[in-house]
Structure 1
């Protein structure tokens, strides 16, 4: 059993905002594989189903971003899911909109939702998919930026990104995270 959780904030206020990219990606995965993510359980909206023969739980924690670990811990305890079988999808301001960065493990990198998950699980050893939301423009407050909506051009980049996330998840479920990283990780820019 795998847990694929996207991070975001509940309520209509935050729908479609940059910070909720994790929820957006879980919806895309659910739509692709016919998994309804509407059951309220474990402080989350969850859905159970199959992706390429693997049993999965899709989850959108409803605890607000900074307390995401409460929900993730409840789900993993209930279903006895090991950290290496958890995939967390969340926003990253250091990547351009729609760029992906897949990691096997690592620190929170300043992301409070991930920091809370690490605190609740007691480990950093879980895979994650970071989805770029772009860096905040000059003069913007970070909180205002991450809670802002996308431009039309950015929405197109996100549609492409959702295909990448789906492809990466399929590879990760086949225990081929290296292939997922090689295929989908954002290439570093030429520093010239």
Structure 2
């Protein structure tokens, strides 16, 4: 049975709940509800954590409480303690370059300007982890990005993101079972 980390990126605190930057938290909250699991604060890993089983895999669901720009501190602490290799880490994050409702999986790559990914790469010493990129759309100008990601989406955009999250949860067993091509083909055709 392989061990995995699924890290959903976001910012802690009630003022950030429901914001576009927290779609990684949204996905983990939905998955935990479906599994009947509850997060607990784990200071050792600088985050909220739940350990569960999913299709015979041991899975650690992690919501870093370090704020987005320091997400790597949390991910690295958990990965190092349980000796989980980079290829068994899935990071779920918001993606400006994709429209709401669009989701893409990829392995490896740079940070694409995403500060959470930038810190995970720096703290773990590598970039060979999976990324689940949940589209949130772009405000149109780079000077508007900060306010945009920290604001709540329209009801229509939120529904599209929630549909994308449902789609990701459907293919998650394939991702964990190393059937990434199958998962990507289905997910990317939605």
The alignment's TM-score, normalised by the length of structure 1, stands at 0.93
Equivalent residues in 2 for 1:97-136, closer than 5 Å: 97-136=100-139
Per the TM alignment, residue 158 of structure 1 is displaced from its structure 2 partner at its CA by 1.9
Cα distance in 2 for residues equivalent to 1:64 and 1:14: 10
Equivalent residues in 2 for 1:121-160, closer than 5 Å: 121-137=124-140, 141-160=144-163
Higher helix share: 2
Cα distance in 2 for residues equivalent to 1:138 and 1:80: 41
The alignment's TM-score, normalised by the length of structure 2, stands at 0.93
Equivalent residues in 2 for 1:1-150, closer than 5 Å: 1-41=3-43, 42-137=45-140, 141-150=144-153
Unmatched runs of 5 consecutive residues or more in structure 1: 188-192
The aligned counterpart of 1:190 is: none
Cα distance in 1 for residues equivalent to 2:58 and 2:13: 28
Provide, for residues 83-129 of structure 1, a one-character-per-residue CA deviation record: whole Å limited to 9, x for no partner: 01100000001101021010011111110100100001111101110
The secondary structure found in structure 1 opposite 2:105 is strand
Distance 1:77 1:135, change over 3 A: same
For these two proteins, the number of residue pairs brought into alignment is: 187
The secondary structure found in structure 2 opposite 1:56 is strand
Task: Tell me how large the CA RMSD over aligned residues is.
Answer: 1.5
Q: Is the 8 A contact 1:40 1:46 kept in 2?
A: yes
Cα distance in 1 for residues equivalent to 2:46 and 2:189: 32
Distance 1:139 1:72, change over 3 A: closer
Cα distance in 1 for residues equivalent to 2:30 and 2:73: 24
